[in-house]
Each structure stands twice: as structure tokens, then as C-alpha cells.
Structure 1
Amino acid sequence: MSSTAESSTLTVVERVQSFVSEHKKALIVGAAVAVAAGGVVYYAASSSSRKPRPKEKKKSKSKKKKTTKDVDGPLLEEIERSQEQLDDEAFAVLLTTLPTLTEEERKEKANELKGKGNKAYTDRKFQEAVKLYTRAIQISPTPDPVFFSNRAASYMYYEKPDYEKAVDDCTAALNIDKMHVRSLTRRGTAFEKMGKYREALKDLVAVRFISQKEDPSLEQSVERVLGKVMNEMVPELLKTRQERLPPSSFVEAYFGAFRPSKRPPTPETPSTGDNTLNLALDALEARDYPHSLTLVNEAIEQGISSKEGEAIALNLRGSFKFLCGNSEGASEDLKLAIAAFPAHAQSWVKIASVYMEQGMAQSARDAFEEAIKQNANDPDIYYHRGQVRFIMQQYSAAAEDYTKSVELDPSFVFSHIQLAVAQYKDGRNSNAMATFRRTLKSFPQRSEPHNYYGELLLDQKRFEDAIEKFDRAIEIEKEKTPPINVLPMVNKGLAIFQWRSDVKAAEQCIREALEADPECEAAIATLAQLQLQQGKFEEAAKLFHKQVEIARTRPDLEMALQFALTSDAHRDFLEDYPKMAEKFAASQMFDGMSA
């Protein structure tokens, strides 16, 4: 942009100089006899002696301009001239004198024009301001980013704003000075007005990096623009993505939170659908989840002979839809399952979970009440109602539900674990630790008590004790056949980082988790955050984009996308400003950013 402006200026100067050389005498004479007075210019011409004028008749008063006819000379007329015309003429003369001015004199005159432009801008005379800044650009001996930036601001306040010209001017200013914050800010604003939100986000993030100041208005701008990017991208991503099951570890954890239901009785002459349903349940027990999903779809299409069997099949298909993030489809299937066989309490419990994900808390509570009416002694009801109360931070009520679940079935490990966690959250630390110790004794070959006990110890900053528990959980998991639960490895990595700030050792743990479960969302997100801590924005962005791909629900997708977009903006900044990479710590750069 700056080179274009300079070449344009030279062309004007060259044309004027050529004209001057050809008409030098006329210009000098004309300039010498021009007299300005009170905003009116009189152009006088020499004349010979005048003859006396004949008497004139009285003329009525008129607003017409006075003219005097000289017998020997030309017609003389008073010509009213506007200040704008005077300025135009004065600038034209100034252009002719540029070659004779020193660099300092040209700079002084350019700044004078900028000052007039600032005054016009303050007076909201934006077109006049643009003209004055343009003239400052033309005569300035060296390109000045302020002139371009100020002209950009004027374009943005036109009656019909010209944001494209504003972007061009800001870009010209940044070509002169990459660190010119005002130009970045104004270009970001112009991009936002044009609907180019990704470009706007990039500029606003760059402003934050360069300025290094707490600026609430800037943070609000980043939040606003990030929200607009999300509003564009999320619906499109949801529209184009295909339903897919989450990682096996996630699916296993979901089904592991329910006690196995009794299979419906098989009729003497089972239908094809009855047989296919049994195969689907066999695949579920074998943890072959994709095969189980295919088979249950086939069973429902083929037709199942009993209402109870139909309810079990619809319950299973609804569960798979819920896992795929299709809460609407899950709700439809679970309602059909309830209609077919209302006594199956698990369908009520599962639809309560769907309602919670949809933000329908009262519907969830009603579903639990209906489940209790159907089977008041089903321990799953109280465990999952406890989960809902826990999410709503009703820790005391959650603990009561977990206790009831334990009383009805002491063999379910998760009820014990969640009871301990709820007690801890409720401020009853000694009770929580005692519950965990009992659970460790009761379930010595389960990794989950060690893992979650380790999380509580980590929260208390008892790092060595926490890592010991995570190590034991990892040992137990490695003795199992794949897929294994890799959360203890992720937690160990976090503990090492928090304890010793040993990023390499922490990364090693997370990468080991990803080798065992490449699509573990917790491992991907944690490794991405570690990359951010080291300022490795390229790697972080790739990981966050992978998290976007595997996100199960819209909230998960939005969270991952926020981090991905912000990491992209950070990466782009450091590519454009490589020297800045060594100047700031990655953690400082990321603190306070949206995501």
C-alpha cells in the first residue's frame, strides 16, 4: 500500500514540475498578483488611463455581483472563493515547491496537514479529514503509519463507511510498522464490520500480545469476535459431521455405570429379530460396541416378538444415540422403550440423563420419581440421581443417594467412589478418606478407587501420595485386555507437571495414554494444554482440532473449538512476529485469553 501511495505522489509531482517548466513565467506573474482579502480574491490587470464614465441611471438594489466595464480593459468581477478552493490552490502551489524543500520542512508541512486532519476528524468532517491525511501522505518525506491509520479511521466513520479502504490503509500502516497497535485494532474492527471474523480475531489477538496490558475492552472484543466465529462454524460443523461412537473407553465407562439388565425371556419359537437382539447383547458384553450397534439396529428393523424385548432393544439403541451426541434421537427411542414396557426402570433413568444434557432439570427429576414408582429397590436409580444432584452441587443430597445405592447393592464400585467424592465436596474430608480406604480394601483389583483417591490427594497437593495411587491404578489397567482405562496415566502426567513443572515427564505419561487410546479426549486436551504452556501453538492447534473432530456433544465441540481458534491465532501471531516468541513465556501469553 505504501509503495502505491509513493508512486502516485511522484506522478503528481512530476506532472506539476513539467507544467511549471513550460509556464514558469505565467505562474510567477499569476502568483505575484493574487491578493487574498477577507475570503475574496481579486485578480487585477494593468490598464491604461481611463476615460470619464458617462452618468449612470440609478439602479434598483440588486443582489447581483457588481461589474465594472473598462473601456480599454477587460471585464473585472468580484469572485467569491471558498476556503476549500483556497486550500486546494495553496496545496497545488506547495506541490510545485517540494523539490526545493528540505526533508525537515516537508515533514513539518506534512504534520501540519495531519493536525488539520485531526481537527476535521474531531469535528466529524470525515471526508475533509481523508483529504487532509491524503495530502500529508503525499508530501511526507518518509512513509508514516499514523497518516494511513488516521485516514483508515476516517473511512470507517463515513456516512456510508468504506471498510475495504480502511483495511487497505491499516495494512499500509502495518507494512511500515508491524507493531502499530492502533492499525491492528482498527483493521480488526473493520474486518469484524465486514463479517471477516477469523481475520478480526487474528488482529485482536496480535494487539493483546504486543500491548501486554490489562484492557477489559480488548478482552470483550476478543470474546465478541470469537463468539461470532463460533456462531458461523459450529452449525456448519454439526451439519456436516457424521454420527460416530466415542472412544471405547468412554463407551465402556457409560455402560459400566449401569448394572446389566436381565435379558427378556426368549420365546419357544424366536423371531429373527429376537435372535439378532441376543447377538447384539452378546457383542455388548464382549465390548464390541460398533458390532453391537449394528446388530441392535437390525433387530429393531426385523421385529421383536415381545414388548419387553422391544423395550430392551430401543433402550440399547437410544443409549448408542446418546453416546453419539444425538440427544434428540436418544430421547425418542427411550420414550418408545418406556411406552413399550414402563416397568423397565433403566429406561426412565437413562432418559433422565438425556433431559439433564438438554438442560431440562425438572423433567429429569420427574423421570427419577417415575423410575422409583416402577422399582423402588433398583440401586441404579439412586446412583444416577446422585450424579444429577452432584452436577447441581447438591453434595449432601447426592451423598444420601449414593449411600442408598450402596445399601441396595454393595458390589457396585462407583457408588462407593462417588459417595467418597461427594463427602469430600461437602467438606467432610475425614469421612471421604475413610470411605476411600474402605473401598480400596473392598475392591483391591479395581483401578477406579486408586485413580479417584489419587485425584483427591492431588487436590490436596499431596503429590507423592497421589502419584503412588495413579501408578497402582496403571498397573491394574495394564493387566487387563485392551481397551484399557488410560485416565490414571493422564492424571499422573498432570500431577508431575503440577508438582515439579516437569513438562517432558508429564508429556511422556500423556503420550503413553494416547498410544493405548488414541482418541481419549482427556489425554488429547491435556497434551494440548501442555503444548500451550511451552508456546508450541502449532502442535496445540492440531490437538485441539482433533478434539473438535471427536467431540461428542455440542458443548464439548464448542469448548474444543474455542481453544483451537485461539491457538490458531497465537500460532499465526508468532509466525508473523517470530522475535516475539522468545520475548514472552507461553503461559503469560495464554493467560486471560478467551477459551
Structure 2
Amino acid sequence: MAPIAPPAHIVTPSQPIAPPSTSASGGLLTRTQKFIEENQRLILLGCAVLAASGAGYYLYSTKSSGAGPSGDAGSSSSSAPGTSSSAKKNKKKKKKASSSAKDEKYVKGEGDKGPLLEEIEQPKEKKVEKVETEVKEEGFLADVPDATTLESMDESARNTLGASLKDRGNKLYSKKDFHKAVECYTKAIEVSIRKDAVFFSNRAACYTNFSPPEYTKCVADCDEALKLDKTYVKALKRRATALENLGRDEEAVRDFTATTIIERFQDEQAAMSVERCLKKLAQKKAKDILETREPKLPSPTFISAYLSAFRPHLKPTLPENPSQGDQTLLLAFDALEAADYSHAVSFVNEAIDQGISSKDNEAEGYNLRGTFKFLIGDSEGARQDLQKSLDIKPDFVQSWVKIASVHMELGDSASAFGDFEAAIRHNADDPDIYYHRGQVYFIMQEFDKAIADYNKSTALDGSFIFTHIQAAVAQYKQGNVGSSMAAFRRILKEFPDKGEPSNYYGELLLDQQKFQESLERFDRSIELDKDRKPRNVLPFVNKALALFQWKQDIVGADELCQKALEIDPECDVAVATLAQLSLQQGKIDEAIKWFEKSAQLARTEGELVNAITYEHASKAQVQFLKNYPEFAERLSQMAQGM
């Protein structure tokens, strides 16, 4: 569950929630990632299409995807999307229903337990006497000529002998006699003059069925098969599965991605395998990064958004005989007021270490330090500090509200609502309680309860702009578009000098595809906030999205995002948008750099996993085009047909 925040205007499961951040269009970050959320396969598997075509934004529908891989050769489909016959569609539906069970077998390497059939058409040989292929229990290779005899045989005869040994291996394989099958395939490789990728691929299949499986040998044989035929999909799949079982997920992503593209996105199981391996890879890398990286504050835009969700209260005052800690605490609040967040963190840490003499001030110190820990992503550390604040001062309502946010982020909604009830017992007239509880109801999509709390908050204090905005957004979410838009027009009149209403009203207009009006609103917001410190850069990113959606003006959108980063170099939504714009242009290398930057800015594990996922998905696309440049033209044609 996400934490609760202010106008951060970012509403994703892993980020704080701000008032209008949850606007009808889903919030800025949600919209910038709509490309990912609604068309995930395009990012994970279709970037190569974009790179090859240099064209705009193409979607391949999973509804027209073909059947997933069986373990048998000859199962690939070359049908282009959208050309399936009625019979094929029915067959696909049946296969899709059992995809989960198949996928599990595929991961475990159990996809090769059916009969092996050749995928590669063999060139015609001169007619020679066929070698007996019946499998005998004893001496099953006794009839194979010795080395001296082999040397006297011509190339055609040796190749035919190799093919017969392969057939013999297939029969042994079908009887699950995998060790003897390996001997046959090995002998086929030895006797044949013309090396055949099928021999290596079939032997690789045997290794995956050993007990325990010999995945390393499987990979080695698939390597040899792919040297002979680099588009041999069966070998790619087998190598990918073996690599995944060896924990080499990055290489597995490479092969599953290649399989999916070569098969024109018709292989549903390979597509699912890409996502599965990417998820494991990203989770492992994210865990490693989080264990070693230094805690880091998010962008000033993000921090300012969170802090502005709380009505300001008086700064602590010095006691009659202040300690060094008391004085340092005041420096922390001075830095906070000046939006010098890094110094505010340093000072509050020092103040607590030095010792704060006043109980009220000590509670303020732990509240402030807990707030910054929450923003950094240290939810457990934040919970401990906020609890200390409440132990010292049980009626500190703001600490109750903030610890509710922490409990929501930790997934403990019961404790969060308990925190709100405790806050009400101490001061039922504090409007912040109802605003933030309304936010919780909002993210739970209980809009009636959210609106009731927003109205309660407004009745206690009508001067807080975000309560008005969020109530209007909640109406929009309920489908009451007319009432919501009327509420926004009223808010614009009541707060004519504030940029936020124009920005969020612009979001609703953009959601309704009223592009010209939305651009005017974003421009108005930018103008009103030009002297604000720290400056709100979100209208720049919103305007970029509007330009792109309306006129496909990628250059203008890019410039606006770059402007946002000039003002706030760590604005995560600007970075996310630039990554998507790069993909739209087929500039995958550039997109990768933005995804890497996004990972650096990630506040939570969920955000980090997302950034790493798309970074490595894009890298797999780049590697595919490097390994298979001949597919560029085909991919361009596929893009045009999507």
C-alpha cells in the first residue's frame, strides 16, 4: 500500500500520494508510464520493432498471439498478428487456458518430454543403403562402423549414417532412455561430415532430462547448434530454459527475447518467460543495490509535495536554558523552511545526537527525522522515530497522521486506521486527520468515504487548497465529470494566485483529450509558479505529455522535460517521460540511459525493480538487433502492420 502524501501528483503503488496526484487521468507518473502499464509487452518485447522502424508507437495485441512452445520441434508459428483463422483462434484459446501449467513445466525444463521432430529441412543426399535404425537393448551401437571403415566411406554415406543414428536417438528419447540417446546423438555428430544443428539440440534436450539435469552441458550443445543456425528457435528456447535454471537470468532474457521476436510475437510462453526472467533479474539486482547504496533524499519536487500536504505549524522555540541540541534543532527547521532539505536532515540528526532538553522539542525532532526517513524509503526507521515522538508527546497529532502513512506503506491498513482514530481522540478538530484519512480511502477506491473526509477537513479549514482539489478529483473518479469540472472552476476562482489548480485542472482536460485547453492550463500553472521555491516542475512534464499526445511533438516534449530537469535534476517523472519518449523514437540506447537514471532516483524497492526491468528489457532488444541485423527490415514491416 502506498504512503500518503500531498500534491506529489504521483500515484503508483510504490509512491506517496498527493492530492491531485490522483487526478482522473491517474496522476502524472501513472500517465507517463501508461505506455508500460497498458502495453507492457511492447516495452518488454517490442522495442526492437521500434528500433528497427524508427516509427512511433506500435502495439502487438496478446489477444492475437500464437500458441506457446511445446517441447517439440516444429511448433513455431510464422503467422503475422491478426491473420489467424477461426480454427487457429480456437486452438489458441485452449492453449492459453493451460498456459500456467505449461509455463511451470517450461521453467523446470520439462518441455522436452515429447517426441523430437526435426525442425530443419535436410538437403537431399545421394541414395545409399539405409543403416538399420531399430533400437536394440544390447549393443545398440554395435553396428556402427569403426574409425577405419568410416574413413573409407564417402561424405554422403557418412551423413546418411549420422541421420540414422539421430533417428535411433529419437526413438531412445521417446522411451525416456536419455543416456543411450545421448550416445546416439554423440556418435551421429562424430560420423557426420556435415554438422547438423539438430544433433546438438536433441542431445541438449537429453541433458535437461537427466537426474539431476545437466544444464551446463545443455547450454554448451545449444551454443554449438546456434553456431550452425543462429535462428534455430528450438535451440534458443532450450538454452534459455537451461540458463534460467542455472540462475543466469540476464542471458535467459536475451534468448527468450530473441525467440519471441523471431517467432513474430506468436509464442506466448516465450513472452511470459521474458517477463518472468526479467522480474527475477530485477528483484535480485534491486536487492543488491538496496543493501549497498547510501540513503538518498528524493527530488525537491517530491519532498516539497509531501511536506505541503500538512498545514504548517509553529516552529519549536528555545527553552530558557537551551542545550546545543535545542539550538541545532532550530537550524534544522530553518533549513526546512528554506527548502534546504539536505541540511535539514544533517541538523536534525545532530540535534538528536547532541540531546534536546525540551520534551516538546524532542518530539518535534523525532517527528522531523522520521519524516525524512519515510521520504528516503526507510519505512521501518520512520515508524520507530515517529513512535518515539508519540511516546514523548502522545497528543502530537501530526505524528499520529504520519505514522498512519508509514503503516500504509508497510501494508498494515488496520494500524493506519487505528492511528487516525487515536489522532481524533486527541484532537477531533484537526483538519489534517481527515484529509489524510481521505487519501487512504481514495487509494482504496472508496470515493464516497474519501469525499466525506475531504468535506470534513474543508469544514474545519477551508483555506487548504489540496483538500478542495482532491475532493474534485474523487468526484471525477466516480464518473461525476460535470460536478468535478465545475468544482475545479470554482477552485480556480477561489485560489487565483496558485498554480496547482491550473495544473490539476489541466490533467482532467488532458484526460478528456481537450488538448488546447489543457496546454493553456499548464502554461498558466507554469507562469503562476515561476517564483516558487522550490519550483513545481510537474506542469512542464504534463505539458510535454499533452504535446506528444496531441501533435506527436516529440522534440517539444523532450525540451519541456529537459527544462524540468534543469530546475529539478532529480525529478523522477521527467526522467520516466524521457525514457518513454526515447523508446517512441526507437532510440533504445538513449532510453536505457534514462532507465538507469530512473533506477538511481528510485525511492522504494518497487520503483527500483520497475526501472531495472525496463532497462534490461531494452538492453535485450539492443542485443537482438546486434546479433540479428538481418531482422531489422522484417521488424519494420511488422511494425507497419501492427
* Same fold (TM > 0.5): yes
- Given the alignment of the two structures, is residue 199 of structure 1 paired with residue 199 of structure 2, yes or no? no
Structure 2 partner of 1:101: 154
Give me the whole-angstrom Cα distance separating, in 2, the residues matched to 1:420 and 1:576: 52
Indicate if the aligned counterparts of 1:98 and 1:106 stay in contact, CA closer than 8 A: no
Structure 2 partner of 1:188: 240
Structure 2 partner of 1:519: 570
Give me the whole-angstrom Cα distance separating, in 2, the residues matched to 1:261 and 1:496: 40
CA drift of 1:512 comes to 2.0
Give me the whole-angstrom Cα distance separating, in 2, the residues matched to 1:316 and 1:496: 40
Indicate if the aligned counterparts of 2:304 and 2:534 stay in contact, CA closer than 8 A: no
Q: With structure 1 as the length reference, what TM-score do the two structures score?
A: 0.81
Give me the whole-angstrom Cα distance separating, in 1, the residues matched to 2:621 and 2:222: 20
CA drift of 1:497 comes to 1.9
CA drift of 1:97 comes to 5.0
Equivalent runs, 1:388-537 vs 2, <5 Å = 388-477=440-529, 479-480=530-531, 482-537=533-588
Q: Deviation per CA, 1:301-357, whole angstroms, max 9, x where unpaired?
A: 222222111111111111011111111111011001111112221000000000010
Give me the whole-angstrom Cα distance separating, in 2, the residues matched to 1:120 and 1:108: 19
CA drift of 1:420 comes to 0.9
Indicate if the aligned counterparts of 2:141 and 2:184 stay in contact, CA closer than 8 A: no
Q: With structure 2 as the length reference, what TM-score do the two structures score?
A: 0.75
- Given the alignment of the two structures, is residue 564 of structure 1 paired with residue 619 of structure 2, yes or no? no
Structure 2 partner of 1:50: none
Indicate if the aligned counterparts of 1:534 and 1:587 stay in contact, CA closer than 8 A: no
Match of 2:230 among 168, 175, 178: 178
* RCO comparison, higher one (Cα < 8 Å, 6+): 2
Match of 1:88 among 142, 167, 179: 142
Structure 2 partner of 1:547: 598
> Greater shift after overlay, 158-167 or 452-461?
158-167
Indicate if the aligned counterparts of 1:521 and 1:550 stay in contact, CA closer than 8 A: yes
Q: Deviation per CA, 1:514-558, whole angstroms, max 9, x where unpaired?
A: 222221111111111222233322222221122112211122222
Equivalent runs, 1:47-62 vs 2, <5 Å = none
Identity %: 50
Q: 1:208 to 1:325 in 2, by over 3 A?
A: same
Equivalent runs, 1:42-441 vs 2, <5 Å = 84-85=138-139, 87-92=141-146, 96-97=149-150, 100-101=153-154, 103=156, 105-441=157-493
Corresponding pairs, count: 507
CA drift of 1:503 comes to 2.5
Q: 1:580 to 1:443 in 2, by over 3 A?
A: farther
Give me the whole-angstrom Cα distance separating, in 2, the residues matched to 1:419 and 1:370: 24
Q: Which amino acid aligns with 2:614?
A: F
Q: Which amino acid aligns with 1:540?
A: A
* Secondary structure class of the residue paired with 1:85: coil
Q: Deviation per CA, 1:54-100, whole angstroms, max 9, x where unpaired?
A: xxxxxxxxxxxxxxxxxxxxxxxxxxxx765373343327x725655
Give me the whole-angstrom Cα distance separating, in 2, the residues matched to 1:194 and 1:219: 20
Give me the whole-angstrom Cα distance separating, in 2, the residues matched to 1:496 and 1:107: 63
Structure 1 partner of 2:79: none
Indicate if the aligned counterparts of 1:467 and 1:495 stay in contact, CA closer than 8 A: yes
Indicate if the aligned counterparts of 2:282 and 2:610 stay in contact, CA closer than 8 A: no
Q: Deviation per CA, 1:27-55, whole angstroms, max 9, x where unpaired?
A: xxxxxxxxxxxx9xxxxxxxxxxxxxxxx
Give me the whole-angstrom Cα distance separating, in 2, the residues matched to 1:262 and 1:197: 53
Structure 2 residue runs without a partner (length 5+): 1-133
Indicate if the aligned counterparts of 2:155 and 2:193 stay in contact, CA closer than 8 A: no
Indicate if the aligned counterparts of 1:535 and 1:586 stay in contact, CA closer than 8 A: no
Q: 1:120 to 1:502 in 2, by over 3 A?
A: farther
Structure 1 partner of 2:93: none
Q: Which amino acid aligns with 2:145?
A: F
Give me the whole-angstrom Cα distance separating, in 2, the residues matched to 1:465 and 1:344: 44
Q: Deviation per CA, 1:381-436, whole angstroms, max 9, x where unpaired?
A: 11111111111111111111112222222221111111111110011111110111
Q: 1:419 to 1:84 in 2, by over 3 A?
A: same
CA drift of 1:297 comes to 1.3
Q: 1:319 to 1:586 in 2, by over 3 A?
A: farther
CA drift of 1:231 comes to 4.0
Q: Which amino acid aligns with 2:325?
A: G
Give me the whole-angstrom Cα distance separating, in 2, the residues matched to 1:283 and 1:585: 54
User: Larger Rg: 1 or 2?
Assistant: 1
Q: 1:159 to 1:275 in 2, by over 3 A?
A: closer
Give me the whole-angstrom Cα distance separating, in 2, the residues matched to 1:106 and 1:496: 67
Indicate if the aligned counterparts of 1:532 and 1:587 stay in contact, CA closer than 8 A: no
Indicate if the aligned counterparts of 2:366 and 2:386 stay in contact, CA closer than 8 A: yes
Give me the whole-angstrom Cα distance separating, in 2, the residues matched to 1:253 and 1:146: 60
> Greater shift after overlay, 411-420 or 269-278?
269-278
Give me the whole-angstrom Cα distance separating, in 2, the residues matched to 1:347 and 1:379: 14
CA drift of 1:296 comes to 1.2
Structure 1 partner of 2:45: none
Q: Deviation per CA, 1:443-463, whole angstroms, max 9, x where unpaired?
A: 222221111111111111212
Q: 1:530 to 1:305 in 2, by over 3 A?
A: same
Structure 1 residue runs without a partner (length 5+): 1-38, 40-81
Q: 1:308 to 1:585 in 2, by over 3 A?
A: farther
Q: 1:387 to 1:586 in 2, by over 3 A?
A: farther
* Secondary structure class of the residue paired with 1:124: coil
Indicate if the aligned counterparts of 2:316 and 2:330 stay in contact, CA closer than 8 A: no
Q: 1:470 to 1:579 in 2, by over 3 A?
A: farther
Q: Which has the higher helix share?
A: 1
CA drift of 1:582 comes to 4.4
Give me the whole-angstrom Cα distance separating, in 1, the residues matched to 2:533 and 2:261: 45
CA drift of 1:118 comes to 1.3
CA drift of 1:106 comes to 4.2
CA drift of 1:508 comes to 2.2
